[in-house]
Amino acid sequence: MKNRLPKIVLLILVLLGNYSLMGQQKNAHIVLGEIKDGSTQTTIPYATISVVNAATKQILSGTISNDAGTFSIKTTATDFYVEISFMGFKTKTIKDIDVKQSRINLGTVILEEDSEQLAAVEVRAEVSKTQFKLDRKVFNVGKDIASTGVSALEVLNNVPSVNVNIEGEVSLRGSGGVQILIDGKPSVLADDSSNALGTITADMIESIEVITNPSAKYDAEGTAGLLNIILKKEEKRGLNGSISLNTGTPDNHSVGVSLNRRTEKFNLFTQLGGGYRSMPRDNENSNLNKENDSKVESYGTNYRNESFFNFILGTDYHIDDYNVLTLSGNVAYEWEDQPSRTNYRSFDNDVLNSEWYRVENTQALNPKWQYEFNYKKEFKNNKEHTLLFSALGRFFGKDTDSDFNNATTFGTNDQDQLQETNTDFQQSDYTFKLDYTNPITDEYTIEAGSQYVINDVGNDYEVRDYNGTEFVADPELTNNFEYNQKVLAVYGTGAFEGNNWGLKLGLRVENTDLKTLLTNNNQENNQTYTDFFPSLHTSYKVTDDFSVQAGYSKRIYRPRLWDLNPFFSIRDNFNIRAGNPNLLPEYTNSFEVTGIYKIGKATMNSSVYHRYTTDVMERIAIFDDNVTTTTPFNIGTKNTTGVEVNGKYSPIKWLTFNGDFNWNYFSREGEYNAQNFDFDGDSWSSRVTSKIGFPEDIDLEITGNYRSSYKTVQGETSGFAFADIGLRKKILKGKAVINLAVRDLFASRISETIIDNDTTYQYSFGQRGRFFTLGFSYGFGKGEAMTYSGKRR
């Protein structure tokens, strides 16, 4: 009996406990509702909901709203009220609660903005700062920007040396062609063919790295520089998205939808768009034979009308805190129509002897696709200790049919003819990369990796002439050009970075295997070469606001497909462009010393540079029987020494200036076909952009550009000035944006070259003209409205 007593007591206690719990569950309440912003009527995720004891004022339980702004919370209290709070909004207290109901639905709870709290937050906010590292600048995004909810493009616009114009085009130190990475790897989110960066908000970004002189880790065929966006590693960021509608003249119409949803494990992104655009270009040419005083003039307008469709889908999968997989794809399709007319006049001794015109009607279908796979591993000892593998595939096709019709309008000549052309073009590119980074200590870091790139192209081209009864292929202008290039690269770098001084050495080795073939006549050009590309970077931080960087790198510029493709363009029979299958790459040794400093509200970069280039690729115009044929050749060497200055200055909060100035002196040495091409000269360019913020969220941007004239191997290219202007109005607290922009405001941006020698005079002129664009975009979730970009995709 004594042994059973403790068991009986325990059983009674358990039964009493269960009864008590059942009683508590029976009296439990479920409180639920939805939270919205009072001004925009958008839902508020991650707001704090607290159940508070009405007598003691103590918090009994709490939760946060989900991505959709809804919440549900349980409580067994009988005398309580609910408090709902979110940063930047006034706290909402709900006391009129019917505790007799087990399910209490508060419905839609409206939070109103607290202007005083926002001001206090702004005063206490952590300010964004720029750190000067060994071979890069790091812009750390502080709460002053992170709390604003703007897009990644707006964050980039706050980074020294970076400018984003009102149409969303990114430039670095005044130059385009910037490669943008996300977490050190390529991403369709950062592809310049989309506005998907608008779905990445400031509070997702930890820092942005600016690399103006890439080390041996990066392709030896570099761009203007690199921007690497480092994202924060937070569990949830919700749904971001934007819808845009755009129109313009000449025709430039599009509609697009972008979405980005972040969860604990996944980051899903997609974009869908389509539209129509027209790209007219006015051309004028004159070819004068001084020996017999004969001349042919031409002028006309070429059109490129294009309907397009684009779809992007991708995801980042965070396996755990240290491993991430990324898979993305992009499919696009374009339908081209190119109606063009060129008018000709022929003179002998300044006397008009004939006039005729050439009409072109071209139709083309352009399928495109791209896929990308990335795997990134971070090691537990250091988040900078990483392994990254990526595979990228691209395809571009072009099936083109053209009809040409010549007709005489004055005089007699033998120019009347009918021609047809057909092009079946296919290009596939594959890139495989492996990168390993290991910070051995706080001061020493090593990097190693490899890359393999395959470029495979086929261009089947046929020209058919009408002989009176049928079209017959012209064997001189018909062929199939095959182009295959493989580049295998390996690299290694080692770096020391102390508190004030650092040094980084690197070596990249690339083996290139290039094969071209004209299948109809079995004309081959095979090139295999191995190149070494060393790099050296050093920096010294004088103060927190002044740093000096110096760098050396060797670069390569390989001939592009159209540099090598020997097919003639017969759009204009008197001004022909053709490639050179025997063209070699050009090499550049680049030296640069840069001072980076901050003076008050201004940041400045001043650089002195020297570049020595061998096997320079130049386009040479050959004149024969009033026909100018322009073909690239390797001609000698080029020395270039220059000064570059760029800066950003905000004297007051609503006014910002961006400026770039580049001057260089060059000397050329070389000859072709016993003709000496030694000469020297200089050139300079400048750009100033002013951004003015007006009340009512109105921004005005004015950009002025000037490019000087400069000498070429055969003549001179004229200078020109042009201006762009843009106006932006934000509504609904930045959730919606209206853009109005005018590119080339005064229609002064031209391309004009002159070649004048003892036997010939050649003049060429081209102009795109003035473009007007109007865009509207609405952002939802935590995203900001996308900034419209009117450039070609």
Alpha-carbon distance 185 to 375, whole Å?
A: 10
Q: How confident is the model at residue 23 (pLDDT cuts 50, 70, 90)?
A: very low
Q: How far apart are the first and last CA of the chain?
A: 90
Q: Which has the higher per-residue pLDDT, 396 or 116?
A: 396
Indicate if the pLDDT at residue 31 is higher than 80. Answer: yes
Q: How far is CA 8 from the centre of its chain?
A: 76
* Model pLDDT for residues 335-362, shown as the tens digit of each residue: 999 888 999 999 999 899 999 999 989 9
- Whether residue 20 is predicted with pLDDT greater than 50 in this model: the reply is no
**pLDDT higher than threshold 60 for residue 578:** yes
| Phi, psi of 561, rounded to the nearest 5 degrees | -55, -45
Strand 627-634 and strand 575-577: the pairing is parallel
| Pairing mode of beta strands 720-731, 238-249 | unpaired
Q: What integer pLDDT is reported at residue 621 of this predicted model?
A: 83
Residue 601: is its pLDDT beyond 60?
Answer: yes
Contacts (Cβ under 8 Å, ≥6 apart) of 591: 551, 552, 609, 610, 611
**Is the pLDDT confidence value at 4 over 70?**
no
Burial class (CB in 10 A: 0-12, 13-18, 19+), 41: exposed
Nearest C-alpha neighbor of 521 from the set 460, 478, 474: 478
User: Residue 196: is its pLDDT beyond 70?
Assistant: no
The arithmetic mean of pLDDT across residues 597-616, rounded, is: 85
Identify the weakest region by mean pLDDT among 153-162, 253-262, 456-465.
153-162
Tell me the pLDDT tens digit for each residue of 158-194. Answer: 776 676 754 566 777 656 667 788 777 666 556 554 4
pLDDT, one tens digit per residue, over 486-511 is: 999 999 999 998 888 899 999 999 99
pLDDT given for residue 530 in this prediction: 93
| C-alpha triplet 378, 384, 385: angle, nearest 5° | 55
Distance of alpha carbon 259 from alpha carbon 268, whole angstroms: 8
Q: What is the mean pLDDT of residues 608-634?
A: 86
- What residues have CB less than 8 Å from 209, skipping those under 6 apart? 133, 136, 137, 138, 139, 226, 227, 228, 230
More confident residue, 611 or 789: 611
Predicted confidence (pLDDT) per residue in 718-744, tens digit: 988 989 888 888 887 777 888 888 888
Can you tell me the mean pLDDT for 600-620?
86
Mean pLDDT to the nearest integer, 122-144:
63
257 three-state secondary structure: strand
Domains of the chain and CATH, by start: 4-116 (2.60.40.10), 240-781 (2.40.170.20)
Looking at the predicted structure, is the pLDDT value of residue 99 above 80?
no
Looking at every residue in the chain, the average pLDDT score rounds to: 81
Three-class HEC string of 594-637? EEEEEECCEEEEEEEEEEEEECCEEEEEEEECCEEEEEEEECCE
Residue 490 Cα distances to 348, 451, 486, 552, angstroms: 61, 6, 14, 19
Residue 279 · residue 792 · CB < 8 Å: yes
- Model-wide pTM > 0.85: no
SS3 content of the chain, % helix, strand, coil (to 5): 5, 65, 30
In this structure, of 147-151, 275-279, 323-327, the range with the lowest mean pLDDT score is 147-151
Burial of 342 (0-12, 13-18, 19+ CB in 10 A): buried
pLDDT at 19: 39
Structure confidence at residue 17 as a pLDDT band (50, 70, 90): very low
Average pLDDT of 551-563?
A: 83
φ/ψ of 265, rounded to 5, equals -110, -25
pLDDT surpasses 70 at 784: no
Highest-pLDDT range among 135-149, 456-470, 573-587: 456-470
pLDDT at 656 over 70: yes
Amino acid at 652: I
Q: Once rounded to an integer, what is the mean pLDDT over residues 80-87?
A: 84
- Residues 390-406, mean pLDDT to the nearest whole number: 90
- Residue 435: name the closest of 386, 362, 486, 383 by CA: 386
- What mean pLDDT is predicted for residues 612-619? 90
- Quick one: pLDDT at residue 624? 79
Rounded CA-CA distance 509/245 in Å is: 47
Q: Which two tokens stand for residue 547?
A: 């740093």
Q: Read off φ and ψ for residue 219, nearest 5 degrees.
A: -50, 140
